[in-house]
Chains A and B, each alone.
Chain A
Amino acid sequence: GQQLNQSPQSMFIQEGEDVSMNCTSSSIFNTWLWYKQDPGEGPVLLIALYKAGELTSNGRLTAQFGITRKDSFLNISASIPSDVGIYFCAGQLDYGGSQGNLIFGKGTKLSVKP
């Protein structure tokens, strides 16, 4: 099946630091989504990207849809303890078609040192 390579797998950062993570694929995607999952909860949508080159922000979060349409990046500025969790990228190959399903990366586990 399709693969999304998400990196890093985990990271420890100092509160106040900026964080970067990315997702790459050998396939071209029409849509990139970034989710955050807190322990014991379902993933929550953070940012959605629909066009190559698009740069979108949601508070301290900024995500970009790569020009090649094969990658996406998520940056978190000035991290705080509540940023702890697992961040997933998800890509969609077939917008509005018969499938409409998402392919997920394996996640980046973020831990913040207080």
Chain B
Amino acid sequence: NAGVTQTPKFRILKIGQSMTLQCTQDMNHNYMYWYRQDPGMGLKLIYYSVGAGITDKGEVPNGYNVSRSTTEDFPLRLELAAPSQTSVYFCASSYRGVEAFFGQGTRLTVV
């Protein structure tokens, strides 16, 4: 039972570097989300998708991009990494946009 799988689990980036956080789900969910979690804070929505080919901005989209070419995959792209993007990133999916199931997270440090 894979559920939502995120890779990598950990990553250190230098300022200005780029990377893609991978997320895939095997539950055939239409809704997918990217959240970031900073210490002592709740989860903030970065981007979400309600189906393949459809994406929209969440609360904190600046510095990120997403694509949704398939139902299963929802990668998150950081183009020019900044220290403010040091965080734990969670991908989630949902069947009907209500109950969300989360991956294990990617811990990103930008130095």
Whether B102 lies near A44 (C-beta < 8 A) is: yes
**Residues of chain A with a CB closer than 8 A to B100's CB:** 33, 45, 90, 102
**A-side contacts of B44, CB under 8 Å:** 104
Please determine whether B33 and A42 come into contact, CB atoms closer than 8 angstroms.
Answer: no
Chain A residues with CB below 8 A from B42, complex form:
4, 6, 88, 104-107
Nearest A-chain residue to B44, judged by Cβ? A104
Across the interface, do B105 and A100 meet the contact criterion of CB distance under 8 Å? no
Mark each residue of chain A from 96 to 114: 1 if its CB lies under 8 Å from any CB of chain B, else 0: 1111111011110000000
User: With A1-B59, A106-B41 in contact, do A100 and B48 touch (Cβ < 8 Å)?
Assistant: yes
A100 in contact with B97 (CB, 8 Å): yes
Q: Which residues of B, 8-40, contact A by the 8 Å Cβ criterion?
A: 31, 33, 35, 40
B40 touching A106 by the CB < 8 A rule? yes
Is A48 an interface residue when CB atoms closer than 8 A count as contact? yes
A interface with B by C-beta (< 8 Å): 1, 4, 6, 31, 33, 35, 40-45, 48, 88, 90, 92, 95-102, 104-107
Q: Contact between B50 and A33 (Cβ–Cβ < 8 Å)?
A: no
What are 8 inter-chain pairs, A to B, with CB distance below 8 A? Answer: A1-B59, A41-B105, A43-B102, A45-B101, A88-B42, A98-B56, A99-B97, A104-B44
Closest 10 CB pairs of A and B: A100-B97, A42-B102, A104-B42, A104-B43, A106-B42, A43-B102, A42-B104, A101-B45, A42-B105, A100-B31
Q: Which of chain B's residues have a CB closer than 8 A to the CB of A99?
A: 48, 56, 97
B58 lies within 8 A of chain A by Cβ: yes
Min C-beta distance of A2 to chain B, whole Å: 9
Query: What separation, in Å, do the CA atoms of A107 and B37 have in the docked complex?
Result: 11
Judging by beta carbons under 8 Å apart, are A97 and B97 in contact? yes
Which residues of A lie under 8 Å from residue B101 when comparing CB positions? 45
- Contacts A42-B104, A43-B102, A104-B43: A95 and B97 contacting too (C-beta < 8 A)? yes
